């Protein structure tokens, strides 16, 4: 059983981290030096948990509702042509800034800011966008950490108390400011207020609905992985607020979400946690 768990864990890690994953993991966790966040920090608890799989899908769906952010993703991210590469780059960024040395975290942020400077264009509605725009960066950040935190509270091993949730939001603000976000939220209440502040700007564009169909219904996965991924996707949709679903044409099924979907989400996150912790 130990060998089966190890093999499954290695395959999953390879998907999420890519061929450079083992070397990167050693550098992130074994390189001596000061870190941005200490052992036991709330951000380490959230970003190191299997619930991030659910939170990541929810974040993509929620972020897509801003037309300018979605225009940039559609034109520059290559999410359809290289979805695994995009996942691996995102997971590497989160791992380095959460667990890596301060020196590596600062270098990673510098590389991301340089990439953002190149992501500019015109949305289908004629408006200009830039990935370095602090207003768009703040939306992407708020939608992301709201999703990670919401997923952790539902499916994490140890959900955070109120102080822990405020600590998590405040710690993510350090990363956000380094990326160029102005006035990121620093408490759970501020996070909720900023999400609400953006609602008049949000809409379900065709690009957003196309992305939702891709991530939820047509991901490039082998047959055996489609069942577990379907549970992750359903759990992610089940955590979206009702106002975010209609623009993406996603269903609201409260009874099923409270029973079947929740049970599936608990099951798949426990399974991921099991295979990713072979000595646990």
Domain boundaries, the chain: 2-276
Q: What's the CA dihedral at 238, 280, 15, 53 to 10 degrees?
A: 20
Mean pLDDT of 139-153: 98
Q: What residues pair up with 35 in beta bridges, in sequence order?
A: 101
Distances from the Cα of 219 to the Cαs of 64, 83, 256, 262, in angstroms? 17, 8, 23, 21
Per DSSP, 174 falls in state: H
Highest mean pLDDT out of 6-15, 24-33, 80-89, 270-279:
24-33
d(CA 228, CA 5): 16
Mean pLDDT of 76-97: 84
What ranges in the chain are assigned the alpha helix state H?
A: 2-17, 21-30, 42-47, 52-63, 67-76, 83-99, 102-118, 134-155, 162-179, 188-198, 206-217, 223-238, 242-245, 254-256, 262-276
Mean pLDDT of 99-104: 98
The predicted model scores a pTM of 0.93
pLDDT value of position 178: 98
Per DSSP, 131 falls in state: T
Confidence of residue 195 (pLDDT cuts 50, 70, 90): very high
d(CA 107, CA 31): 15
Q: What's the CA dihedral at 174, 177, 182, 187 to 10 degrees?
A: -10
pLDDT value of position 216: 94
Average pLDDT of every residue of the chain: 92
d(CA 146, CA 65): 14
**Environment class of 280 (CB within 10 Å of its CB; exposed 0-12, middle 13-18, buried 19+):** exposed
Does the structure show a pLDDT above 60 at 149?
Answer: yes
Count the neighbouring beta carbons within 10 Å of the beta carbon of residue 197: 12
Distances from the Cα of 135 to the Cαs of 2, 116, 182, in angstroms? 48, 13, 8
């Amino acid at each position: 059983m130990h060998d089966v768990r190890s093999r499954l864990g290695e395959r999953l890690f390879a998907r999420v981290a890519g061929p450079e994953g083992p070397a990167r993991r050693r550098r992130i966790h074994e390189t001596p030096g000061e870190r941005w966040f200490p052992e036991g920090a709330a951000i380490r608890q959230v970003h190191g948990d299997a619930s991030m799989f659910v939170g990541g899908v929810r974040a993509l769906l929620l972020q897509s509702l801003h037309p300018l952010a979605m225009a940039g993703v559609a034109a520059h991210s290559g999410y359809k042509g290289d979805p695994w590469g995009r996942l691996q780059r995102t997971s590497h960024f989160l791992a380095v800034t959460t667990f890596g040395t301060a020196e590596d975290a600062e270098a990673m942020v510098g590389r991301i800011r340089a990439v953002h400077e190149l992501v500019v264009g015109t949305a289908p509605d004629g408006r200009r966008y830039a990935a370095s725009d602090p207003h768009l960066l703040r939306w992407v950040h708020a939608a992301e950490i709201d999703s990670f935190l919401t997923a952790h509270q539902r499916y994490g091993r140890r959900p955070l108390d109120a102080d822990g949730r405020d600590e998590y939001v405040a710690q993510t603000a350090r990363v956000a400011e380094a990326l160029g976000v102005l006035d990121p939220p620093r408490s759970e209440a501020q996070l909720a207020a900023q999400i609400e502040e953006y609602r008049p700007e949000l809409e379900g564009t065709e690009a957003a609905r196309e992305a939702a169909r891709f991530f939820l219904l047509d991901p490039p996965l082998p047959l055996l992985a489609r069942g577990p991924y379907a549970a992750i996707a359903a759990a992610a949709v089940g955590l979206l607020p009702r106002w975010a679903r209609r623009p993406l044409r996603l269903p609201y099924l409260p009874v099923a979400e409270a029973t079947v979907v929740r049970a599936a989400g608990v099951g798949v996150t426990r399974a991921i946690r099991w295979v990713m912790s072979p000595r646990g």
